[in-house]
Amino acid sequence: MPVNDASHPLVLVILDGFGVVAPADDNAVTLADAPVLHRLLAGEGCTLVHLRAHGTAVGLPSDADMGNSEVGHNIMGAGRTFDQGAKQVEEALRTGSIWDGPWPEIVGRGRAGGRIHFVGLLSDGNVHSHVRHLAALLGRAADDGARDLVVHALFDGRDVTDGTAERYAGETEALLAALRDRHGVDARFGSGGGRMCTTMDRYEADWRVVARGWEAHVAGTARPFPSVATALATLRAEDPSVSDQFLPAFTVVGADGAPVGAVQPGDAVVLFNFRGDRMIEFYRALTEEPFDRFDRGPLPGGLLVAGMTLYDGDLGIPERYLVQPQRVDETVSEMVARAGLAQVAIAETQKFGHVTYFWNGNRSDKFNPALEEYVEIPSDLVPFEQRPWMKSAETADEIVRRIGERRFAFIRANFAAGDMVGHTGDVAASTAAVEAMDRAIARVLDAVREAGGTLVLTADHGNCEVLVERDSDGSPLTGPDGRPVPKKSHTLSPVPFVVVDALGRDVKPSTVERPGLANIGASLLAMLGVPVPAAYAEPVVTVG
Tens-place pLDDT, residues 504-529:
999 999 999 999 999 999 999 999 99
Question: In this structure, what are the phi and psi dihedrals at residue 312, rounded to the nearest 5 degrees?
Answer: -150, 105
Q: How far apart are CA 99 and CA 96, in angstroms?
A: 6
Q: How far apart are CA 70 and CA 275, in angstroms?
A: 8
Residue 325 predicted with pLDDT over 80: no
Which residues make beta-bridge pairs with 252? Answer: 225
| DSSP state letter for 402 | H
**Across residues 483-511, what is the average pLDDT?**
95
Q: How far apart are CA 53 and CA 351, in angstroms?
A: 17
Domain ranges within the chain, ordered by starting residue: 10-82+327-543, 86-323
Q: How far apart are CA 398 and CA 379, in angstroms?
A: 14
**Residue 314 binned pLDDT confidence (cut-offs 50, 70, 90):** low
Question: In this structure, what are the phi and psi dihedrals at residue 236, rounded to the nearest 5 degrees?
Answer: -65, -40
Q: Which CATH class is domain 86-323?
A: alpha beta
Q: How far apart are CA 465 and CA 41, in angstroms?
A: 13
Question: Fold for domain 10-82+327-543?
Answer: Alkaline Phosphatase, subunit A (3.40.720)
The closest alpha carbon to 162, from 468, 471, 429, 493, belongs to 468
CA distances from 429 to 180, 197, 216 (A): 46, 20, 32
Residue 293 predicted with pLDDT over 70: yes
Question: What is the pLDDT of the chain when averaged over all its residues?
Answer: 95
Q: How far apart are CA 467 and CA 146, in angstroms?
A: 44
For residue 478, the model assigns a pLDDT of 87
pTM for this structure? 0.78
Each residue's pLDDT tens digit, 163-179: 999 999 999 999 999 99
Q: How far apart are CA 320 and CA 324, in angstroms?
A: 10
**Across residues 122-136, what is the average pLDDT?**
95
**Residue 313 binned pLDDT confidence (cut-offs 50, 70, 90):** low
Residue 266 predicted with pLDDT over 80: yes
Q: How far apart are CA 445 and CA 45, in angstroms?
A: 12
**496 CB-contact burial (10 Å; exposed 0-12 / middle 13-18 / buried 19+):** buried
**Residue 65 binned pLDDT confidence (cut-offs 50, 70, 90):** confident
Which residues make beta-bridge pairs with 222? Answer: none
**Across residues 103-109, what is the average pLDDT?**
98
Residue 360 predicted with pLDDT over 60: yes
| CA terminus-to-terminus distance, the chain | 6
The answer to whether the CB of 152 falls within 8 A of the CB of 217 is yes
For residue 482, the model assigns a pLDDT of 86
Q: How far apart are CA 264 and CA 258, in angstroms?
A: 13
Active-site residues: which are they? 69
Q: When comparing pLDDT for 314 and 324, which is higher?
A: 324
User: Which residues make Cβ contacts (< 8 Å) with residue 123, sequence separation at least 6?
Assistant: 129, 130, 131, 155, 156, 159, 160, 168
